[in-house]
Amino acid sequence: MRLTEPLWAGVALFTAVIGITLSSYWIWHRSIGADAAKFNRKATSLPRPPDELGETSVVGVLAGSGLQQTNPSILSRDFPRFDDERVLQGRYLFERHCAACHGRWGDGRGELAEGMHPKPRKLTAGVFKFRSTPTGSLPMDLDLERTIRRGIANSSMPSFQHLPSRDVDALIVFVKTLSSNWRRQAQPSMPMSLPAEPAWLYLTVESETHRVVGKELFAANCAPCHGERGDGSSEIAKSLEDVWGQPCAPSDLRHEGLKCGPELMDIFRVLVTGLDGTPMPSFREAFTDEQLWDVVAYIASLRRKPAMDATKAEELDEP
């Protein structure tokens, strides 16, 4: 029986696919397969489906990080020296908890991202709003952990407070492989020095004087974007955009749950560091620490949060 020409073509194609598959597996096994096989499935508290950390997931890790399968030395040359097992663990956790919004490759194009506002962070850009480091710097690990554990109020970013520390650490390690900014960093960013909260901040009478000063500073420097009442309804609010061209309306400062965090120190930190990727600048050079706390005092009054009693204030004032 003679084979027809289309059947011959099909046989040839099938043979070629088998050959490429076997060659790819051999290359993978020679380069990283032995190390990947050591990954401990019990390293995280989350359950894993059978073979989920096998060949496909490992190749996906490399593809997602922009690495070449045939050159294992790139892992240590182009990226910070991370523990390989933690990268794999972080990749699994990212796909499980984060990819639906941030996208499988961290590009902010997850399946659920289309209808979200604000849009999920584009982690491949290496630009982060909530940091304790200077403007234009990468965040500290503690900054990333704070965002992961707290979530971001008034957004679609939930809290992952339930994750054990080892899982959060693995997620942070993996997030650092998503942007080339981490490997271009000449030296680790250092957090900016922030003063302690002043005791008067929680005393009704003493804070009133500072609140009046803060109101004047707010009107001159913050109201053009946040509005005179701090509700984010200024004339230019609707036209503001982030560095990716997405709408970036100023926060309504009357809410107790601000995106930066629930504490007054969180507001102070944002005034010092600014929010990278947004029109919100740093006021570190423009104001003294006392003036910044005056502004914080005024914002606190917009939130209508009851003042703390004198006992708590005295505790804050203790060395």
DSSP string, the chain: -PPPHHHHHHHHHHHHHHHHHHHHHHHHIIIIIHHHTT--GGGSSS---TTTTSHHHHHHHHHHHT--TT-TTHHHHTS----HHHHHHHHHHHHHHTHHHH-TTSSS--TT-TT-SSPPP-GGGT--SS-SSPTTPPPPHHHHHHHHHH--TTSS----TTS-HHHHHHHHHHHTTS-THHHH-SS---PPP-PPPPGGGG-HHHHHHHHHHHHHHHHHHTHHHH-TTSSS--TTGGG-B-TTS-B-PPP-TT-SSBTTBSSHHHHHHHHHH--TTSS----TTTS-HHHHHHHHHHHHHHTTPPPPPHHHHHHHH--
Q: Which residue has the tokens 């939130």?
A: 303
Q: What is the pTM of this model?
A: 0.70
Could you tell me which residue, 34 or 98, shows the higher pLDDT?
Answer: 98
Mean pLDDT of 182-188: 79
Share of the chain above pLDDT 70, in %: 69
Q: What is the pLDDT of residues 280-309, one digit of tens each?
A: 999 999 999 999 999 999 999 997 554 444
34 against 238, higher pLDDT: 238
Determine the pLDDT at residue 68.
31
Average pLDDT, whole number, for the chain?
78
Q: Is residue 183's pLDDT more than 70? A: yes
What pLDDT digit, counting tens, does each position of 117-152 carry? 888 999 999 999 999 999 999 999 999 999 999 999
> Does residue 6 register a pLDDT over 70?
no
Residue 226 near residue 220 (C-beta atoms within 8 A): no
Tell me the one-letter amino acid at 213: V
Contacts of 90 (CB under 8 A, 6+ apart): 170, 171, 172, 173, 174, 175
Say what the pLDDT of residue 19 is. 66
What is the CATH number that goes with domain 199-317?
A: 1.10.760.10
- pLDDT average, residue stretch 46-51: 35
User: pLDDT tens-digit profile of 141-181?
Assistant: 999 999 999 999 989 999 999 999 999 999 999 999 999 99
Q: What is the CATH number of domain 5-184?
A: 1.10.760.10
* pLDDT tens per residue, range 87-119: 999 999 999 999 999 999 999 999 999 888 888
Tell me if 5-184 shares its fold with 199-317.
yes
13 confidence band (pLDDT: 50, 70, 90): low
Q: Where is 129: in which H helix or E strand?
A: none
Model confidence pLDDT, tens digit, residues 262-277: 899 999 999 999 999 9
**DSSP helix, strand, coil percent of the chain (3-state; round to 5):** 50, 0, 50
Domain residue limits, the chain: 5-184, 199-317
Q: Cβ contacts of residue 76 below 8 Å, gap of 6+?
A: none
Highest average pLDDT, of 21-35, 39-53, 256-270, 297-311, comes from: 256-270
Q: Is residue 250 a contact partner of residue 237, using CB atoms and an 8 Å limit?
A: yes
What three-state secondary structure class fits 105? coil
Answer with the residue of higher pLDDT: 39 or 203: 203
